Amino acid sequence: MYVNDTPGKGEVGTDMKSIPTAAIERVEILRDGASAQYGSDAVAGVVNIILKKNVDFTKVNINSGVTSRGDGFNIDADVNHTLTFGNGGFLNATLGFGYQDYTNRAGEPGKDNLFGVNNQWTKDNPDLGMIVGQPEMKKGDLYINAEYPLSDDTVIYAFGGGNLRKGKSFALYRPPYWITDDFGLLTPSGEPYNGFQPTFETNIKDILFTAGSRFKLGGFNADISATYGGNSVDYTIGNTINPSLGANSPTSFDAGAYAFSNILGNFDVNRSFGEVSVGLGIEGRQERFEVTAGQEESYINGGAQSFPGLQPGNALNETRVNVGAYATIDWDVNDNFLVGGAARYENYSDFGGNTSWKINSRYKIGEAGVLRASYSTGFRAPSLHQVYLSNVQTLVSGGTISNQGTFNNVSPVIKDLGVASLFAETSKNISAGLTVKASRDFTISFDYYNVRVDDRVLFTGEINGTDDNGNPNAAVQQILNDNNVTSIKFFINAASTITQGYDFTLRHKNINFASGKLGLNAGLNVNKTNLEGEVKTPTKLNNYKNKIFNRKEQSRITSARPNMKFLFGADYKIGDFTANLNNTYFGEVTWRHASDPFKDQTFGGKVVTDLSLAYNFTDMISFRAQVNNLFDVFPDEIDPKGDPVTDLGGRFRYPWEVNQFGFNGTSFKAGLTFKF
């Protein structure tokens, strides 16, 4: 769950890195809203990952790279191999390992404007300084994809695997305690404040496994499967202390863990009756969200600096069950015209049911083009994380360090504030597109989309003892005092949005050029998200409308990501040599201050250029090299305009609450591939 002030705050991420690239054959995108077929979360479409199958060679990749500033060294290797057996059976397996070192693009705050003290932090001394960039990471992957035909009509299959990662990132500040005990971390009494650099370490485990069978059933094509998927994250906080424990404080803490898992069962059938095709299916799912408390020293009396551990009161093991059933139909009216529709009913044990539906059509313009359009309704169930997540974090708030509490949606604390139980977001999705195939090698596509989402689940701003008008609220202050926090956050269905935009793509390949073949690619996305209507607040917090969803939180939805992205690239092949040059324009983004429009900042659009080269020495050995961000382009630097909280007292040099592209600068990577 993203809980910090970055794009995606309050969302549960989908971790694409859990599936190794070497195991993937291709990725398909269904751009139409698809909740009527696939259920919750398919509001704007579906990503379909196709794994490698019966590959007739073994492939080994070895890669290594570094940034132009000498940090971020990385190395990885993977092997993909297929075993064949029986009459058409296969098992494709991928094994991979990798390591990346951290990068640092922090600012250099000589005098600490955030705390008003002098310090000796330097970017080149991580013991005294700070680190902002990519984390250090070690990882290992094992993935399989297998099929075995039992007969001409029946195939059993299995796919999935595991992913282990150990990450290490760094906290950004430490309040200026002058404690006489000396761990090499604390500032002795009377000495200059130097601070120390806490670490934030994660052990991440992913596992996914699906087994099933495809077979014939009374003239229908049938598919039955069972899936288990799980993810866990264990936290260790290092190079820090719990000041309340003095000389008895550990300097490394087990801060607790989060885990999420799914168990799914699916049964689907489909069949064509002449020009009409139908599909039916049912799905059952159990979801589980677990929180494990950290060691007592990590949370007692304010807890470890940078991240107080998860407390026994945060620990939980919650489940829910949902059952869904769907039907689809497609009718080829004639050779050129198709119409279709789908409907799905879903029932969740914690908030009830939802019905979504979809209509779609496609019309072929001879052999040269296709027109398509769809209208659909959809929904997204609030995640168990959003319902049950609770923790206390040490954050910068109001120009000082404070303990900020996230209380879950079923907590008596939140109910005392009058916050209603979370319910499903609903959506309406209109999309239309045109694809033109001017020739065998030249295609153009244009797509328009309009998605309205009602009752979006939001992660609120900081609720403290004074309302939007600065008036004290004794009831809220008492809740803060009772829970030993300076502010409260929670999840609430509070806003509605409309997102609309269009995508344009162009591909022209096989152009004869200098004895080789040239290909040109272009892509443009323009989009805009607007808030619709008033922010919905509980009656007891009517005067907290701005604090629940202030200017900064609103901009996280409307302007924190580029509203325009343009890509233009070329690929060239001559003999055994291949080159690719791609330019990506990331449009501007705007950060809005929580209360003062004068302190807003717009970060200008930039073009990032990537170059890759490859050469096949033989059929068995090939070489590749790439330079990402060839011209060392960075986002605009932060201008705090007198507010030290904006850049955390100079610690951040580049934007972190809005995002266009990374700020590592130029990086180099090269590798070899062996096929045998």
Q: What is the pLDDT of residue 473?
A: 87
Of the ranges 215-224, 297-306, 502-511, which one carries the lowest mean pLDDT score? 297-306
Element (H, E) at 554: helix 551-558
Of the ranges 121-135, 435-449, 658-672, which one carries the lowest mean pLDDT score? 121-135
Q: Which band of pLDDT confidence, cut at 50, 70 and 90, is reported for residue 600?
A: very high
More confident residue, 8 or 528: 528
Average pLDDT over residues 499-527: 96
The CA distances from residue 291 to 233, 391, 610, in Å, are 10, 10, 41
Q: Which band of pLDDT confidence, cut at 50, 70 and 90, is reported for residue 643?
A: confident
Q: Positive or negative CA dihedral for 125, 127, 133, 134? A: positive
Could you tell me the pTM of the whole model?
A: 0.88
Task: Look at residue 587 and tell me whether its pLDDT is greater than 50.
Answer: yes
Those residues with Cβ within 8 angstroms of residue 527's Cβ, 6 or more apart along the chain or in another chain: 499, 500, 501, 502, 563, 564
Q: Positive or negative CA dihedral for 274, 276, 277, 279? A: negative
d(CA 624, CA 670): 6
How confident is the model over 394-419, as pLDDT tens digits? Answer: 665 555 566 677 888 888 888 888 88
Element (H, E) at 532: strand 516-532
CB 331 within 8 A of CB 339: yes
- Tokens at residue 216, please? 């014939």
Average pLDDT over residues 658-668: 93
The half-sphere exposure of 113 on its side-chain side, counting CA atoms within 13 A, is: 16
B/e letters for 523-552, b = 16+ CB within 10 Å, e = fewer, are bbbebebeeeeebbbbeebeebbbbbbbbb
Those residues with Cβ within 8 angstroms of residue 152's Cβ, 6 or more apart along the chain or in another chain: none
